Each structure stands twice: as C-alpha cells, then as structure tokens.
Amino acid sequence: MLNEQSQIIVELPTDWLLNPIDGIRHRIFLTNVMGALSKLHPSIVVKDVPWGTDFVERTPPKSGALFSFHSVGEVHGVWRLKEAAIPPLYAVDRTGHSGWSEIANDKKLQEKAYSYDLEKAKIVLKSYKERFQSDKLSKYPQASLFDQEINDYVFIPLQVQSDPVAKFADIDALTILKTASMLSLKTGIHVVVKRHPYCDSDAIAEFIESATTTNPFFHTSHSNIHDLIEHCSSVITVNSGVGLEALIHGKPVYACGLSEWSPASHRIKDAEELQLAFNKNQPEVDIRSTAYLGYLLSEYWIDGSDFLAVSKKMKRCLNESKINKTKKVSIDPTKLEVCGKIGELERQLAMLTTDLKYFKDENEKFKKTS
C-alpha cells in the first residue's frame, strides 16, 4: 500500500487521445482514471508518452506507482493500461496486453477464469452477443452490407503485419493464407478473408490477389465482421480481437498465437493443424471456455466508461502496488520521442522484412519455371 508521501504518475498518450477512431474512448477512460486516482491519492503527476514506445522500460517513482499506457514489461509498481479488443473494455494489467498479459501466461490465473461461475458467464456472453447482433459494433468501423453468397466457410480475419503482437504468432499470416488456400482446393470448403483496415503489407495484397484469381474457393470480403462470423463454420486467426468476438458468437476459433483470450480457443502451433478448421463436424462450445470468457469480460477487464468500475480497479492497484525502493530512472522527453520513432521504424522493418522474403521466394519460383 502506498503512503501519502509517495507519487503516482499517469501517462497521457496524446497520439492516442487525438485518434479520430477511438480517441474519444481513450479520453473517457483516462479521465475516469485521473478522477479515480485523485480521490485516492494526493500526489498525481501526468506525463505525455508518444506513439511507438511500447518496449521502452518503465520505472515507477520511488515508493510510488506508474500507470503506463500501451507498454509491456514486468516491473513492480507499474500498471499497464490498454484498450481491450471489445469497446468499451480496458485492461489494467501488471505485464501488458495480448501475449504479454498476465492472464496469457499465468496458469493459476487461467484456472481461476476456467472456474468462473458458468451461469454468470452465459449471461455475460449472451449480453455481448445480442449487442453484436443488434449494433454490429467492433473495434473499427464496419461496412453494413453482407457481400457473400456462400455459407459455412472458414473465416480468416487478418491483422496489421507490423503490429508487435505478431511476434506471438506460431504460424505467420502468409503461411496461414497459403495453407488455407491449398486446403480449400483439397476439401472444396470455401475460405473468406478480410484484411485489417490498416494492413499495408504488399505481400499480403499480392497473395490475396493471386489466390482469388486462381482459386474458386478463396474469397475476400469487406462485410461487417459480425455478419462474416455469423455465416462461417470456423475462424482462423493469430491473436486478433476478432477471434474473441467469434468466441462470443459461439464459433470454433483456431488461434495461432498467444493472447488474453487464446486459452478459450483451440490453440494450434503447426500449419498442418490448420486442417482442423476445415473439418465438416466442428466441436461444440466448451463450458470451460465459456467460463473463461465470462471472467475475462466481466472480471479481468473493466468498462473504461464506468467511473465506479475504474475507481474500484484503481483502488485495488494502489493496495497491491509494492513499494519500489530503487531510485527512479527518469527518461528525458526527447529521448522518449526518439525511442518512439525507433519503435515505429522497427514495426515497419518487421513488415518489410516479411514482404521482402515473400517476393524473393516468388522470384525463385519464377526462375525455376522459366
């Protein structure tokens, strides 16, 4: 428990707050965080943090606590704030989000989630599913029309290839697409792919264009995510939040990477296992998965727009924060900005490296056939 002489630092991420898509969501949540903390502690300091500083090491003030936005790492006295896959939920986590999150790595915490009251979980999931069906809301704006004439397809929602969470992929996106295309030809089961609205990978675009031209069972769509989920037989994804939405819809989800929700999915780690998504008889919803999702949505994450829920979580964080006796290492704002630029360039480099490998491989194929 922190004393009144300790200091609390809250990172206010200007780049995120000004985002035209979910900036309002962040502003509401962080306003609630600041309001809650100001009622719990007399000394609150705010600091701006630029985009791309996810991996910059955070150190809390001596005998204090730091609430860090969109960062990862395991440091006593540092709490990681991040929007969850489903608005208006937020994570307040000790170690980060996605595959860095505490629940993705802590077996005891996962067992706690699996043991969550099943009836309560069913009510929680029913509420979210009904909201999805009525409002068609997702993390990003969605088209309103369903453009597919087929049903019972394998749905593959893609992610931004430069997103750091891609590091948790046991099977990369291009391998998933190539394997799914081959399996669709082999089984006669259709595949529908939806690109992420911010995906700018040339390799992904090139492969999709080629596959949709040569494979009559391979399709792309711009339809609403919830319509695409509703009409599919199964979902393949790395760790996209769409996988969580599909689980709430009651669909079998084959996750190729680590995330907060992956323990509730069918985890696969080898491309050969992708054929499971093409089985005509898919498994029924598992009650342990239902319980896990209920815990994740109602206990682990919080509603960022609910001041009382945020206040309760902030109080718990301060009570659980261990006093950090090490000397605070302050990061110069200019250095932090440089780190942010490095982080963004590293994200782009990771995607470009993947694109380069794809086109080199394609070039080698042309050499062999010419």
Peptide bond between residue 88 and the one before it cis (omega within 30 degrees of 0): yes
| pLDDT band at residue 62 using 50, 70 and 90 as cut-offs | confident
**Is it the case that residue 213 has pLDDT exceeding 90?**
yes
Burial, 173: exposed, middle or buried (Cβ in 10 Å; 0-12, 13-18, 19+)? buried
DSSP class of 323? P
Residue 131 Cα to chain centre, angstroms: 20
pLDDT band at 369 (very low <50, low <70, confident <90, very high): confident
User: In terms of pLDDT, which residue wins out, 192 or 15?
Assistant: 192
Percent of the chain exceeding pLDDT 70 equals: 90
Tell me if 304 sits within 8 A of 83, measured CB to CB.
Answer: yes
Residue 231 and residue 248: Cα distance in Å, rounded?
Answer: 14
Give the pLDDT score at 361.
76
- pLDDT tens-digit readout, 278-291: 999 999 999 999 99
Contact at 8 Å (CB) between 310 and 32? yes
Q: What tokens appear for 108 in the block?
A: 């005891």
Total number of residues shown for the chain: 370
At residue 183 the predicted structure's pLDDT band, cuts being 50, 70 and 90, is very high
Residues 64-94 pLDDT 10s: 999 999 999 999 999 999 999 999 999 999 9
**Which of 8-12, 54-58, 80-84 shows the lowest mean pLDDT across its residues?**
54-58
Report the pLDDT value the prediction gives residue 161, as an integer from 0 to 100: 84
Instruction: Give the H/E segment covering residue 8.
Output: strand 8-12
Cα-based angle 195, 202, 191 (whole degrees, multiple of 5): 35
Give the count of beta carbons closer than 10 Å to the beta carbon of residue 98. 26
185-206: average pLDDT: 93
Q: Which residues contact 77 (CB under 8 A, 6 or more apart)?
A: 60, 64, 65, 66, 321, 322, 323, 324
Q: For residue 279, what are the CA distances in angstroms to 163, 252, 264?
A: 30, 11, 19
Per-residue DSSP letters for 73-106? ---TTEEEEEE-SSTTEEEEESS-SGGGSHHHH-
- In this predicted structure, what is the pLDDT of residue 320? 87
CB 222 within 8 A of CB 158: no
pLDDT tens digit string along 136-180? Answer: 766 665 555 556 678 999 999 999 888 899 999 999 999 999 999
Strand 78-83 relative to strand 89-93: parallel, antiparallel, unpaired?
antiparallel
Lowest mean pLDDT among 1-5, 6-10, 187-191: 1-5
Question: Given this model, what pLDDT does residue 303 score?
Answer: 98
Using alpha carbons, list the distances in angstroms from residue 129 to 90, 147, 225. Answer: 18, 21, 13
More confident residue, 196 or 182: 182
The one-character DSSP state at 242 is: H
Report yes or no: 296 and 102 within 8 Å, Cβ to Cβ.
no
Q: What is the CATH number of domain 116-280+287-295?
A: 3.40.50.2000
Residue 25's pLDDT band (boundaries 50, 70, 90)?
Answer: very high
**AA identity, residue 180:** A
Domain range summary for the chain, segments of one domain joined by +: 8-109+301-331, 116-280+287-295
Rounded CA-CA distance 278/188 in Å is 9
**Residue 234 pLDDT > 90, yes or no?**
yes
Torsion angles phi and psi, residue 174, rounded to 5: -65, -40
Confidence tier at 196 by pLDDT (50, 70, 90): confident
Per-residue pLDDT tens digits for 297-344: 999 999 999 999 999 999 999 998 764 544 444 566 666 677 667 767
Question: Model pTM?
Answer: 0.89
pLDDT in tens, 30-40: 999 999 999 99
